[in-house]
Structure 1
Amino acid sequence: MAEPGNMASVIQPVEIAGRFRIGPGQPLTLLAGPCVIESESIMRQIAGHLKEVSARLGVNLIFKASFDKANRTSLESYRGPGPAEGLAMLAAIGREFDLPLISDVHESGQAAAAAAVLDVLQIPAFLCRQTDLLVAAAQTGKPVNVKKGQFAAPWDMAPATAKVRSAGTGGVLLTERGSSFGYNNLVVDMRSLPLLRQLGSPVIFDATHSVQLPGGAGDRSGGQRRFVPTLARAAAAVGIDGLFMEVHPDPRQALCDGPNSWPLDQVEELLRQVLAIHQLSAAV
């Protein structure tokens, strides 16, 4: 399919739990946390630090952690505590730190239980075309963050967006996370960001998954963490409404996506750089 010539360009802001909105003219939103729930203590450490940083910088924060990573490379890879225990742990973090929450749903049957805890339901990139999953997530009435598939062109997300909008009123976020580029590699085409915005939804840039090397370590994915700042700054210059990052106190010890996770103690400095560029871009 060729790039469409005329698409809607009015972006519909998305309200998050009655707290704030994501979209043009709004403060940048940070969606961040560990790739997967590892322990309550690690989640508390990350959530507490991110809340302090966000408050200092005037950034809205949505805490992210997956209760089940169903798309791990190996059967032996750690997936998380599962829906029941994981959602309970997320609910506790949300209450303790007074934060909105986002996590992945992999099956339509998970949507209702997830929506009882989460403020935003996230559709993994590999599943962005799964109609039943998109519809079930939208029918909860919660906002849905759809990650663009590594196999998809920006305009391929128009049908996915339409599925969500037809089934619910919570709103749609679209997240860019890189496109397949040969074997075990991703590349970010920055043209994707304005093209996704033309679909009428706020756009998030996933700075950490975009440097992932899928399956690049044989039985697990690799990553090129050093390029996270480069891509995050570039995306801010092009124009985004939110920044997605997986962070960890010690990425070398992370149970999932360690090679592409960003160190927790370096989040504030990177966010300051992104914010400075974002403010200049928004003024243009």
Structure 2
Amino acid sequence: MFSLPVVKVGSVLVDGSEPLFILGPCVIESEEFIWDVAERLGALAHSLRLKWIFKASYDKANRSAGSSFRGVGVQKGCEILQSIGQKLGVPVTTDVHTEEEIKIAADYIDLLQIPAFLCRQTDLILAAGQTGRAVNVKKGQFMAPWDVKNIAEKLQSVRCENFLMTERGTTFGYQNLVADMRSLYWMRELGYRAIFDATHSVQRPGGLGTATGGDGKLAPVLARSAIAAGCDGVFMETHPNPAKALSDGPNQIPLSELAQVLGQLRKIHAVVQEGQ
């Protein structure tokens, strides 16, 4: 439908032939935990022959409360993620929050992710673009789809053409988000590869007072809608036991249910491809 660039993330090509899946837990809760989840996801991805990237955050810097769990830190977290990527033969991604973190993460991480709340931070965008790594920018909850053109131009100003734009819901009143599937079309119409973040789109920001709530059971519903709308991939967080997750538990998909969800999404993608 649109003439879109091929985005290269490590060994993975985002070219529309197959949906890209960015999968993993919200945060590195511990080294033992993250290896367990990664190896289980690796086995699942191999059996389903997925085009995928492993994700996890070394630091959740924008938690609702100061007492909330944040992570293991940038240096240790990036080293763990690189080791996982090398063992599983898969690219890895994580959030970056400052220019100093980018300098560290760029040595280990294949896809640098700009959090939604920071998507207009010019110096951060430029620093990420200058690393030579691929960049994934989460569109802020406060932004219109066509506003990502300004972000893209910042990246392109430092010769970064290897980037993705991710839709993750739009603020809808207090402590609620709405996912507008037209956003995916409009971002792709501008010439950018568009990813849909299914789990953060069902958040209820600050809905639990000192933590974010959410409607995790709706994440697969929105993911199916996004694939049908023609997005280039889906970002989904998963956890063996979301009820005990240290961050964003209400939004994450139980790991035991992920195979079925992914199977459905690939079937929908195949139908969309046949119709183009």
TM-score by length of 1: 0.94
Q: Which contiguous aligned blocks of 4+ residues in structure 1 show a shift greater than 4 angstroms? A: none
Aligned to 2:168: 177
Shift of 1:278: 0.9
Paired with 2:238 and 2:161, the residues of 1 have a C-alpha distance of: 27
Equivalence for 1:87: 78
Give the counterpart letter for 1:21 in structure 2.
L
**1:120-139 correspondence runs (5 A):** 120-139=111-130
CA contact (8 A) 1:147 1:174 kept: yes
In structure 2, distance between residues paired with 1:132 and 1:233: 35
Match of 2:216 in 1: 225
SS at match of 1:68: coil
Normalising by structure 2, we get a TM-score of 0.97
Within-5 A mapping of 1:19-98: 19-24=11-16, 26-98=17-89
Q: 2:6 maps to which residue? A: 13
Query: Deviations for 1:77-124, whole angstroms, at most 9, x for unmatched residues?
Result: 111011111112212212222221100001112112101000000000
Runs of 5+ consecutive residues of structure 1 not aligned to the other structure: 1-7
Matches within 5 A, 1:76-225: 76-169=67-160, 171-225=162-216
| SS state at 2:100 partner | helix
Determine helix, strand or coil for the equivalent of 1:21.
strand
Give a deviation string over 1:112-151, Cα, whole Å, max 9, x none. 2101000000000011111000000000001100001000
1:29 partner letter: L
Q: Say whether the 8 Å CA contact 1:186–1:211 is kept in structure 2.
A: yes
Quote how far apart the aligned CAs of 1:9 are: 4.4
Once the 2 structures are TM-superposed, how far is the Cα of residue 43 of structure 1 from its aligned partner?
1.2
Contact 1:212 1:222 in 2 (8 A): yes
Q: Partners in 2 of 1:192 and 1:269 — Cα distance?
A: 26
Could you tell me how far apart the structure 2 residues matched to 1:114 and 1:263 are?
A: 28
Unpaired segments of 5 or more residues in structure 2?
none
Displacement after TM superposition at 1:220 (Å):
0.6
- Looking at structure 2, the residues matched to 249 and 49 of structure 1 have their Cα atoms a distance apart, in angstroms, of 10
Residue 246 of structure 1 is matched in structure 2 by 237
